[in-house]
Structure 1
Amino acid sequence: MFDRIFADPLDPARPLQKQIQERIVEAILAGLIVPHEPLPATRVLSRLLDVSRNTVTLVYERMAQDGYLVPVDRRGYFVDEAFLRQQTIPKGRTAPPVEAIATARHADLTGKMRQRPSSQPSITKPKDWHRHPYPFVYGQVAADPTSVSRWRDCIRQASRNEHLKSWMSDLVDADDPELVEQIQRRILPRRGFRARPEEILVTNGAQSALYLLARLFCGFGITVGVEDPGYADARNIFALAGAEIRPIPVDGNGLKVDERLAGCSLVHVTPSHQAPTNVTMTMQRRLALLEAAERHDILIIEDDYEHEVNHVGPRQHALKGYDRCERVIHVGSLSKPVFPGLRLGFLVAPPEVVVELRALRRLVYRHPSALDQRAMAIFLADGHYDAHIRRQQETFAVRWAAMLREIERRLPDCRPVMTTGGSAIWLKLPPGVRPEHVQAEALRRGVVVEVGDVHFAAPTPERNYLRLGFGAIATEAIAPGLARLADAIAAAAETQTSMAPSARTAAAQDAAALLSHERQPARPLP
């Protein structure tokens, strides 16, 4: 078997360890190496490859650290069976004097603005959330030391001479072909579909993909159906592009497929883990949505921002995997599960759509960082991305269970939405408790939470929700953090009961001020 895996000679111009690891990882993912048979001894493989025994030893040790291999005393290295079970492979001029500036007639810049994006309701959280001891913030992750180290290695590899041509020059409107290939081979098959290179566009995160799609497909007279509650930034993007927003309710099975879809040109959905409730759209709803899209001539934008994070049962295939009429444009993130600040995403669409999006992207920012693209291609090819997702899923599953257990114990009057995955809990507060008051009381206790109001588009009498992310908080901090949140909810309820209506309005303004740092950051209670 290893004669076949290494039939092609190693390239002496590339790092030997990297090439050996790439081929072994590829063979494991392809099912060519069975778990009950040991890999060749380091002495045997080094002789076969004509490399030092130490080189092979370092490769085996590194793959064991990443979870691909398991060392067994006196028997050697074996493929980790637990790993196999988790795979689902199918510039300046001199400034004028101060006095001249003071007496000059300033332009009315705000009057000239055609749009005011800052006036849209949007998701807010303290910029210094990481300073608080209990950050239940969504969309952030704690650093994984192993992945950080591997990413540094990939950046160093991408900086070597053999990769210079891939990122030193302006790609204009092109993407790194190696990253596109890795998306084809590693990302899309586990989501249940495949795509050709001309159907893939790399973007600055999934949100950039939504912006490009809105610019291409939205305008006056276009109606976009959005989930309600749903992703506020997507709703804002479509609205800024001139579209009419039509809220469509969400229940425990995902987006409701009914007569409200008629007349929509587009519909934006998050079927894997609905934003913000985290419910997974059922198969019945998925098929009904595809049928409605065909019947009403609707284009579906599938925002699959968090496909990999599932805690109960197998992951469902993406909606795109069931699309027979090319009505689904699939949007994904490469960086959100690993390093949210990296900002790398992609979309999959018919070639004629990608041609126009590529031209539009060129006008906006040309292309994402070519160095980051090549480093991510290496990160994927070496198996580091899969290893990270596996470690993260194990950690998130523990935290998810801890969140539900401690909510039941410490917040019996609150109701979490039950889901099969995701990195947050959608929590309904007791009747009459204002979430912004809870948020302010929680922040005073060192607890950062997100108010759910902003996710609703249509007027509704019940907006008493919080979203509690658990990607950035340590597992051992969940129980004490929720205990302090319980105190905050009790304090908010007691304060609201004793307040006059005018005082409640002032308290809401006070909560907003606290969140925007007009006060000193909260300190943990003794």
Structure 2
Amino acid sequence: MTTERTLQQQVHERLVKAILQGALKPHEPLPSSRELSEQFGVSRNTVVLVYQRLVDDGYLTPVPRRGHFINEQYIKQQLSLRGDTRTASLFEPEQNAGIWEKRFAIRPTAWQNITKPANWRDYPYPFIYGQVIPDKISAARWRDCSRFAGTSRHVAAWVTDQVDSDDPILVEQILTQILPGRGIKASPEEVIVTVGAQNAIYLVACLLTQASTVVGIESPGYVDAFNIFRSTGASLKPLRIDASGLVLGQQLDGCDLIYVTPSHQAPTSVTLGLDRRLKLIEQARADDFLILEDDYEHELNYLGAPHAALKSYDNADRVIHVGSLTKTLFPGLRLGFIVAPRAVISELRALRRLMYRHPSALDQRAMAIFIAEGHLDGHIRRARTQLAAKWSLMLNEISRRMPEIYCRETSGGSSLWLTLPKGVESWTVQKEAARRGVLIEPGDVHFLGDLPERRSIRAGFAAIDKDKIATGIGLLAEAIAASRQ
């Protein structure tokens, strides 16, 4: 039995499998609850509840004073619905090498991606980005909100197909609780919910870009955004960044769309200052290009308050704003949103309908309740406090143990961008670090072009315990020293 299911679920699954595979004789009663509880090593009450569920679902028929019998008529119906699965085995397989490969319109597997070991939790010192240590308080609050969303009071909001609509309560919470903190004022017609921020970028790319479109994108930058725009055939123009974020001026010439991460630049975590934000809006108006703002880690500022979003300064409807509701909370939940002019949202809604209609209506309602009850704000406060302490410790330990390393100055975020000494390459360090139980991410994949920078690494700190940071940085220093030899 697997440990990811409750004992009751495990017993239930095993009995259903045995019934459908014919392992139990239909004309004989199943073992008594006492016998089965001893056989499976579970309580008798667990077996009684499982038997009752199987009766409710039609698998079993209770016979007074005789026990539970398999409902043969129901089982035959179930098996007939599944059809004959033996057909494929009756024919010899043909050798058709290349039958699919020559028909692929694009080859996403050939594009570079960020790679993270599936067993990253097995590393004692996981300095990786994009993963978190589960917040037990938030997890408990989310379970409560999910249960409440599943009650009869809310069932009508998610049990039916919403076609291309979003949960109105979630949209209201985004408008009243999320956007004001970013300085954005919008109407319900200017918001759409997505399956995370990455899906939001994909929707915008599908709507606005094609082979003739030039997309300016930060380099180093967000790798998945590179590949999303590649998938539409757009031409990518790498844009230089510095200690203050995206560099403006002539390098933006010829761009139809600029993709930018102003709050904490991906992957360096530097922040685009107010002066540049205003100048970028003005240049977009003067040079007639559009801006896609990915408000990456907006909430994670440790020095001063977060800047207002680019969208808040946009009085010419040139900025599309993308945000995540779950990145800092539970990355696996996948809920995000787009704020854009009504005409854009209308087209995005029609496009989304063709892809997946709408994100899970149940998850939307649970998130609406979660935000309305103040749990998201509470989670962000806790996360910011914990991450700020880790951020400060990371900076101190890197400065103390690796003074030859250049670390980009930031005001927050959940990772640091490090440049190794000359003659030391990131992949060599990665291998040496892994031998010591330290997991880091080489930064070359984040650069556009044929000659990426091979001395950069990204060190995330959201997934590592604070108490392990000092030791982990010490081991990383050893790995860098070993890479020089």
Q: Do Structure 1 and Structure 2 share a fold, with TM-score over 0.5? A: yes
What residue ranges of structure 1 are gaps of 5+ in the alignment? 1-90, 495-526
What is the letter of the counterpart of residue 312 of structure 2?
G
Q: Deviations over 1:154-200 (max 9, x none)?
A: 00110110100111111111000000000001000000111100000
Q: 1:351 to 1:412 in 2, by over 3 A?
A: same
| Structure 1 stretch displaced more, 278-287 or 454-463 | 454-463
Of 101, 120, 123, which aligns to 1:132? 123
| Matching of residues 130-279 of structure 1 within 5 Å | 130-279=121-270
Determine the structure 2 residue equivalent to 1:16.
none
- The one-character-per-residue Cα deviations of 1:299-348 (angstroms, maximum 9, x if unpaired) are 10000021000011111100111111010000000000100000000000
Summarize deviations over 1:501-520 as a string: whole Å, max 9, x none.
xxxxxxxxxxxxxxxxxxxx
Correspondence for 1:441 among 432, 442, 456: 432
Label 1:214 to 1:95 Cα distance change in 2 as closer, same or farther (>3 A): farther
Amino acid at match of 1:300: I
Give a deviation string over 1:254-282, Cα, whole Å, max 9, x none. 10112121211100000000000100001
Superimposed CA distance per residue, residues 361-409 of structure 1 (whole angstroms, 9 cap, x where no aligned partner): 0111111111110000000000000000000000010000000000011
User: CA-to-partner distance for each residue in 1:135-167, whole Å, 9 max, x for gaps?
Assistant: 111011101111011001100110110100111
Q: Which residue of 298, 309, 318 maps to 2:309?
A: 318
In the alignment, structure 1 residue 423 sits paired with structure 2 residue 414: yes
Larger deviation, residues 355-364 vs 439-448:
439-448
Residue pairs, 1:87-126, within 5 angstroms: 93-96=84-87, 100-105=91-96, 108-126=99-117
Aligned to 1:306: 297
Mapped contact 1:305–1:336 kept (Cα < 8 A): no
Q: Structure 2: 5+ residue runs without aligned partners?
A: 1-81
- Preserved contact between residue 418 and residue 456 of structure 2 (Cα < 8 Å): yes
Q: Which amino acid aligns with 1:138?
A: Y
Secondary structure (helix, strand or coil) at the match of 2:259 reads strand
Indicate whether 1:410 and 2:401 are aligned: yes
Deviations 1:189-245 (A, max 9, x none): 000111100000000000000000010001011100000111111011011101000
Name the SS of the counterpart of 1:341 in structure 2.
coil
The Cα offsets for residues 412-460 of structure 1, whole Å up to 9 and x where unpaired, read as 2111101001000001111111101111111121111111001111355
Match of 1:333 among 317, 324, 339: 324
Instruction: Determine the C-alpha separation between the residues in 2 that align with 1:461 and 1:208.
Output: 26
1:370 corresponding residue in structure 2: 361
Q: What amino acid does structure 2 have at the position aligned with 1:241?
A: T
Number of the residue aligned with 1:485 = 476
CA 1:102–1:151: 2 relative to 1, 3 Å: same
Per the alignment, do residues 407 and 156 of structure 1 end up closer, same or farther by CA in structure 2, a change over 3 Å counting? same
Question: Over aligned residue pairs, what C-alpha RMSD do you find?
Answer: 1.4
Q: Aligned equivalents of 1:283 and 1:101: distance in 2?
A: 67
In 2, the alpha carbon distance for the partners of 1:288 and 1:122 equals: 32
CA contact (8 A) 1:135 1:473 kept: yes
Name the structure 2 match of 1:391.
Answer: 382
Deviation at 1:287, TM superposition (A): 1.1
* Residues 398 and 101 of structure 1, relative CA distance in 2, 3 Å threshold: farther
Check 1:92–1:237 CA distance in 2 against 1; reply closer, same or farther (3 A cut): farther
Partner Cα separation in structure 2 for residue 385 and residue 136 of structure 1? 25
Percentage of matched positions with identical amino acids: 53
Give SS of 1:358's match. Answer: helix
The answer (yes or no) to whether the contact 2:262–2:296 under 8 Å persists in 1 is no
Normalization by structure 2: what TM-score?
Answer: 0.81
Q: What TM-score, normalized to structure 1?
A: 0.75
Aligned length: 404
- Alpha-carbon distance between aligned partners in 2 of 1:355 and 1:336, rounded to the nearest angstrom: 25
